[in-house]
């Protein structure tokens, strides 16, 4: 999606969202140099200039202190140090001042450098230019490394692919040349070059690069594969479904980089504060320069203090208090298969009090499986499964496919079925081994005149059926007009990791709720196994919207976790909408504020923990930055600190804020 078409971040005024988009577009050109840089830190242009400036500063200081050279020699070296060190940041400040009529931090530092030079404090002026250059270079390099960490995902996609031609022929081509519809071969141990669908073969694939899931996934014909994933065992023939330039890895990189430009409320507040604060600092410095001398104070003393104030009051650490933490957290999340679509959504995640989960496909696997096979006489499970699978292999119903899959897993061979007939809403029947076999609901067998309670051992009695149904299972009977020979119980089973995710959310202090369109009996059975007490069932899409609103009134900010398509109204209503299992699905990613690329509910808890840590780091930086200003500004006005100390304290605080912000990039336990 183009930036101009991006949905407005929820919670922002329209003009603010538009301002973010425009700023992001305006910054594209500025970011090109940083994004394209790939080399050692000392070759990074701003860092290289800072190192040269520092070397010249040292040379000038040594010449001034330990030689008898004329005074203009060390001054000339200091001037050169200033010119080299200030080249990048002074140019940026001048452009901002001239073109946008704004006084930024760079402009304050430029005025301070010029002021120190006018006062004859050449060493202090060069020291300021060097340290500010080093701090700015470190900041920019930090952002470059954050982007590089995400862009390194591209290295996971192989440069070449084995394209399959007619007649069993193969050719090796650049992966970029693969087009939608091309067939390509992925051998064991190779990486998938682009997104596609398996047309032949089965294998285990490591999808951690895209979905963040550490456990390999078994896939066969019809399964989706993603660029950069590793084929562990079998050979696969795959049909490309996505061009190389828009595959899953490219999508992750694009969304994460775009998200890092969408600001949080805290960032917006700091930006607005800075736009008013920096000009105020300049006015305050001018007042120190003019007013005290007019009242009889020594001009040199107050001019020096004015220069110190420009340095001491510059809000570098405050301005850097949140952007680094947010960019680092969003980048970390992207590498874990969690796409957070902007700072505003990361901020909202940290406020969430309750998490609502859709059931089908989110807490459960989204497909039924056979959980119980019971025969009439307590034995002969294989015969029951064979009869049922022989009939159902001709049906496309999800329950039928589950029965056939179970028979295949147990090695049960099916028989030929004749005269297959689907019984709408009840089941199916066909002739198997010369007799008519019915597979269907208990109601179907009652219509056939079969009394379930008449089973010799009670295994097929009404009580057993009710017990299985109370567990949220669908009961299917197998037999003929002479009676039921056995039953199968099927259910959409909970994901193995769902219970761990719910427990983790409870430990974090979040409320957990299930919102589902399924019937209440099934929903409560699943919820009971997962430890979810608040269950709201039989909900239509519009009912889920109302349920989310009610949760927000009851608990506070709510996150909704769903499949991103069927649950899109509820996702859009919640404070934070989280779409799960969205790898390769553009519509699902568009529907939510947070896209969980894999099918792991635990990623929701991961995103919440990451957001909490990011917010904590940002608050630490803001408090620290304000305390630094509270100490330096009075010290500058009262003449208690000099230019060198102010520069050192100012740049050290900025670097500490950056270093602390980078902690958000660490893996969350």
Residues assigned a catalytic role: 358
Rounded CA separation 551/518 (Å): 19
Answer for the pair 633, 395: CB distance below 8 angstroms, yes or no: no
3-state secondary structure at position 374: strand
Beta bridge partners of 239: 183, 197
Rounded CA separation 307/285 (Å): 7
Beta bridge partners of 477: 440, 487
Answer for the pair 421, 414: CB distance below 8 angstroms, yes or no: no
Burial, 153: exposed, middle or buried (Cβ in 10 Å; 0-12, 13-18, 19+)? Answer: buried
Burial, 32: exposed, middle or buried (Cβ in 10 Å; 0-12, 13-18, 19+)? Answer: exposed
CA distances from 524 to 219, 365, 398, 447, 530 (A): 31, 16, 22, 29, 10
Q: Which two tokens stand for residue 102?
A: 């704004």
From edge to edge, which strands make up the β-sheet containing 435-440?
369-375, 483-491, 474-480, 435-440, 427-432, 417-423
Rounded CA separation 99/473 (Å): 69
Q: Which helix (H) or strand (E) holds 93?
A: helix 72-99
From edge to edge, which strands make up the β-sheet containing 203-206?
217-219, 203-206, 230-231
């Amino acid at each position: 999606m183009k930036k101009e078409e991006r949905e407005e971040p929820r919670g922002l005024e329209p003009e603010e969202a538009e301002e973010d988009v425009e700023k992001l577009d305006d910054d594209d050109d500025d970011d090109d140099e940083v994004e394209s840089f790939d080399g050692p830190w000392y070759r990074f242009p701003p860092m290289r200039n800072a190192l040269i400036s520092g070397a010249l500063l040292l040379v000038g200081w040594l010449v001034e202190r330990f030689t008898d050279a004329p005074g203009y020699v060390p001054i000339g070296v200091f001037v050169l140090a200033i010119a080299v060190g200030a080249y990048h940041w002074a140019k940026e400040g001048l452009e901002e001042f001239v073109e946008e009529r704004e006084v930024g931090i760079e402009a304050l530092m430029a005025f301070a450098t010029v002021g120190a030079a006018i006062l004859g404090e050449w060493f202090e002026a060069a020291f300021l230019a060097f340290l500010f250059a080093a701090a700015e270079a470190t900041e920019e390099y930090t952002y470059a490394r954050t982007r590089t960490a995400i862009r390194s995902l591209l290295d996971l996609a192989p440069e070449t692919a084995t394209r399959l031609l007619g007649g069993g022929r193969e050719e090796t081509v650049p992966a970029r040349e693969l087009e939608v519809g091309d067939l390509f071969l992925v051998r064991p141990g190779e990486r998938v070059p682009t997104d596609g669908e398996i047309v032949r073969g089965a294998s285990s694939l490591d999808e951690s690069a895209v979905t963040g899931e550490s456990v390999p996934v078994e896939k066969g014909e019809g399964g989706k594969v993603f660029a950069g994933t590793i084929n562990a065992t079998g050979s696969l023939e795959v049909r490309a479904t996505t061009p190389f330039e828009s595959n899953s890895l490219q999508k992750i990189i694009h969304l994460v980089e775009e998200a890092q430009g969408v600001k949080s409320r805290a960032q917006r507040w700091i930006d607005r504060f800075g736009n008013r604060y920096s000009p105020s600092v300049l006015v305050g410095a001018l007042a120190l320069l003019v007013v005290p001398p007019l009242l009889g104070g020594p001009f040199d003393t107050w001019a020096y203090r004015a220069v110190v104030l420009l340095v001491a009051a510059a809000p570098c650490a405050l301005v850097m208090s949140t952007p680094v933490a947010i960019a680092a957290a969003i980048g970390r999340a992207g590498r874990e298969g969690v796409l957070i679509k902007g700072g505003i959504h990361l901020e909202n995640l940290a406020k969430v009090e309750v998490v609502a989960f859709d059931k089908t496909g989110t807490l459960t696997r989204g497909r039924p499986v056979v959980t119980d096979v019971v025969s009439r006489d307590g034995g002969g499970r294989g015969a029951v499964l064979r009869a049922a699978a022989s009939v159902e292999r001709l049906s496309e119903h999800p329950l039928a496919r589950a029965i056939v899959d179970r028979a295949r897993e147990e090695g049960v061979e099916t028989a030929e079925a004749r005269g297959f007939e689907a019984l709408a809403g009840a089941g199916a029947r066909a002739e198997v081994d010369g007799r008519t076999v019915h597979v269907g609901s208990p109601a179907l067998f009652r219509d056939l005149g079969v009394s379930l309670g008449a089973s010799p051992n009670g295994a097929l009695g009404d009580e057993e059926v009710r017990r299985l149904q109370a567990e949220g299972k669908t009961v299917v009977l197998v037999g003929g007009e002479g009676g039921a020979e056995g039953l199968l119980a099927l259910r959409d089973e909970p994901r193995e990791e769902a219970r761990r995710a719910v427990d983790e959310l409870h430990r974090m202090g979040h409320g957990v709720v299930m919102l589902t369109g399924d019937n209440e009996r099934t929903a409560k059975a699943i919820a009971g196994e997962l430890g979810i007490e608040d269950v709201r069932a039989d909900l239509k899409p519009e009912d889920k919207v109302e349920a989310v609103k009610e949760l927000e009134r009851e608990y506070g900010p709510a996150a909704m976790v769903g499949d991103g398509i069927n649950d899109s109204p509820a996702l859009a209503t919640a404070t934070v909408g989280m779409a799960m299992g969205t790898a390769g699905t553009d519509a699902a990613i568009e529907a939510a504020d947070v896209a969980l690329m894999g099918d792991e509910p635990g990623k929701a808890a991961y995103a919440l923990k990451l957001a909490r840590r990011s917010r904590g780091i940002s608050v630490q930086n803001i408090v620290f930055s304000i305390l630094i200003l509270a100490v330096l500004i009075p010290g500058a006005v009262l003449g208690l600190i000099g230019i060198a100390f102010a520069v050192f304290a100012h740049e050290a605080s900025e670097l500490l804020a950056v270093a602390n912000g980078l902690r958000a990039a660490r893996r969350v336990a």
